[in-house]
Amino acid sequence: MRRARFQGNRVGRIIAKDMSESKVIVRTTAHDRFTIGGNVSPGFEAVREAFAENFVRRRELGGACCGFNGGEKVVDLWGGIRNKQTGEPWEKDTMVIVYSATKGLAAMTLAIAHSRGWLDYEERVSAYWPEFAQQGKRQITVRQLLAHQAGLFELNEPIDRGLLADLDRLAVVLARQKPAWEPGTRQAYHAITLGFYESELLRRVDPQHRSLGQFFQDEIATPLGLDIYIRLPETISNSRLATIARPGLVEMLRGFGLRFTLEAMNRRSKIVRALRGSELPHDEQWIYARNLEVPSGGAIGTARAIAHAYSVFATGGSELGLRRATLDLLAAPATPPARGFYDECMKVDGVQFSLGFMKPSTVWPFGSAGSFGSPGSGGSLGFADPTAGVGYAYVTSQMGTQLTGDPRDVALREALYSAIPGSPSEVRRRAA
């Protein structure tokens, strides 16, 4: 086995490359070493360097990054630790929960429904789901619901696994929820409820009346051969699953800041109420619950799978039968509510949502102006960039503490775009 040493052999440095197996050995302390596996295409070596530097400089524990350009996989990296307690390594097929990055996958199912003519984004939700009209919700459009503008960021009734297992009962609970304010006037992050509303809407328009998780598996994951699930089956072994290492209070204060940390600790705050149910995908015995759907925050999968799905959306969508009209709507700018893009739950001004996806903004930039995707709590991100032909994803086992862009992910994206001719990052690099 031939090795090439570079950057010295000191603590906090990348100390060796395995040239035959495309592995990098990273030393972060005098005792800790992490192995990075995978491949990058010629010209994209900077992404591997950035991935390695995440372990050295940005406190990465374990994770994966994948990027497609023009339909071709150009980056596929993984490494570090998948379980902090046991020290087990992150393998090629390791899967992890991606929290709200699930929202982008959920939005893909409705995009397919739109392309098939089952759904109109401008139509009222109650046209497909008559019971939804209760409590002043009759005029809420699909577009408003998917943009977190319906005022339905919480449920007044307890969310438990029993409720989620009974979709008919869940539909009744969802339909009788009263908006927190006049729909269409404000934005409030529907952290968990959005996926439940999306799933019931999809059940109403799908001729087979499938849940969102089942539809995603049948119509996206299986046709594309993706290792990702919104409804994790019992056949997936715990040995393939990464656990989540959470930050301490001091780390939260340093990263999120005092205001958001206090909001997150206040049981009556809007963000805490919006996040009720987010704990349900976790399971003490099985790491993640099996046969449970939390379509806004419970997907478990690989970066490779997420990037592949977004790559299809970024390059015409023929594999999934997507129409150009649908893709043009996804790439279009977000429509603000009457009072603008200030988010009542996140207490951030300028975060933008459209048709179930997050859109790039000055507050949270990613990709090109026409990009669409979704970040997840702790640092994960997946998105499609039709302008650059990019499908990208990053996942991690170490929760970060940045609300609008994790430094590990930002470094990877900048390295990826620096290798793509004509992209803003590549132009800046050449001008330097």
- Give the pLDDT mean for 390-408: 91
- Band of the pLDDT at 266, cuts 50, 70, 90? confident
Does the pLDDT of residue 368 top 50, yes or no? yes
User: For residue 10, what pLDDT is reported?
Assistant: 38
Question: Quick check: 276 and 193 in contact, CB under 8 A?
Answer: no
What pLDDT score was predicted for residue 22? 62
What residue type is assigned to position 149 of the chain?
Q
Question: Whole domain around residue 280: which residue ranges?
Answer: 99-240+275-398
Q: Which pLDDT belongs to residue 432?
A: 45
3 pLDDT band, cuts 50/70/90, is: very low
Q: In the predicted model, is pLDDT for residue 163 greater than 70?
A: yes
Please enumerate in sequence order all residues whose Cβ is within 8 A of that of 419, keeping only pairs 6 or more positions apart, or say none.
43, 44, 46, 47, 74, 426
Q: Is residue 360 part of a domain?
A: yes
Does residue 13 surpass a pLDDT of 80? no
DSSP state of 24: E
Span 376-388, mean pLDDT?
A: 96
Single out the residue of 181, 194, 182, 202 nearest to residue 113, CA to CA. Answer: 202
**How many domains does one find in the chain?**
1
Whether residue 30 is predicted with pLDDT greater than 50 in this model: the reply is: no
Direct distance between the N- and C-terminal alpha carbons of the chain, in angstroms, rounded to an integer: 38
Let me know: does 41 contact 74? Beta carbons within 8 Å: yes
Residue 5: pLDDT over 70? no
Token pair for 97: 């929960």
Element (H or E) spanning 407, and its range? helix 407-418
417-421 long-range contacts (CB < 8 A, ≥24 apart) are: 417/388, 417/390, 418/46, 419/43, 419/44, 419/46, 419/47, 419/74, 420/69, 420/388, 420/390
| Paired sense of beta strands 348-349 and 300-301, if any | unpaired
**pLDDT score of 353:** 98
Query: How high does pLDDT run on average in the chain?
Result: 90
pLDDT given at position 4: 31
The candidate with the shortest Cα–Cα distance to 187, out of 337, 59, 301, is 337
Please check whether residue 74 lies inside any domain of the structure.
Answer: no
Mean pLDDT of the 35-41 span: 95
Residue 184's CATH number: 3.40.710.10
Distances (CA, A) of 292 to 18, 202, 215, 314, 385: 40, 17, 14, 29, 30
Within a domain: residue 104? Answer: yes
The answer on pLDDT for 198 being more than 70 is yes
Are 205 and 128 spatial neighbours (Cβ–Cβ below 8 Å)? yes
pLDDT digits (tens, 9 = 90+) for 116-141: 999 999 999 999 999 999 999 999 99
Q: What is the mean pLDDT of residues 160-172?
A: 97
The Cα-based distances of 205 to 89, 106, 109, 355 in angstroms read: 43, 15, 11, 16
Classify burial at 400, counting beta carbons within 10 Å of its beta carbon; exposed 0-12, middle 13-18, buried 19 or more. buried
Confidence tier at 252 by pLDDT (50, 70, 90): low
pLDDT of residue 263: 77
pLDDT exceeds 60 at position 384: yes
Q: For residues 408 and 376, give the distance between their C-alpha atoms in angstroms, rounded to a whole number.
A: 13
Confirm whether 403 is domain-assigned. no
3-state secondary structure at position 386? coil
**CB of 199 within 8 A of CB of 109?**
no
CA dist 386 and 69 (Å) reads 10
In this prediction, residue 87 carries a pLDDT of 93
- What is the predicted pLDDT for the residue at 21? 43
What percent of the chain stands above pLDDT 90? 81
Kindly state the helix (H) or strand (E) to which residue 358 belongs, with its residue range.
Answer: strand 357-359
The whole model's pTM is what? 0.92
Q: What is the pLDDT of residues 275-327, one digit of tens each?
A: 999 999 999 999 999 999 999 999 999 999 999 999 999 999 999 999 999 99
Q: Is 132 within the bounds of a domain?
A: yes
pLDDT in tens, 63-114: 999 999 999 999 999 999 999 999 999 999 999 999 999 999 999 999 999 9
Where do the H-state alpha helices sit in 154-298?
A: 161-165, 167-175, 193-205, 212-216, 222-224, 249-256, 258-265, 270-274
Q: Which residue in the block uniquely carries the two structure tokens 């929202």? A: 103
pLDDT greater at residue 402 or residue 175: 175
State the pLDDT at residue 20. Answer: 36
* 303 in any annotated domain: yes
Q: Give the per-residue pLDDT at 248.
A: 74
Residue 87 domain flag:
no
In a domain, 302, yes or no: yes
Annotate 74-122 with DSSP letters as a single string: EEEEEEEBS-TTT-PBP-TT-BEE-GGGHHHHHHHHHHHHHHTTS--TT
Confidence at 421, pLDDT banded by 50, 70, 90: confident
pLDDT at residue 16 greater than cutoff 60 = no
Burial class (CB in 10 A: 0-12, 13-18, 19+), 184: buried
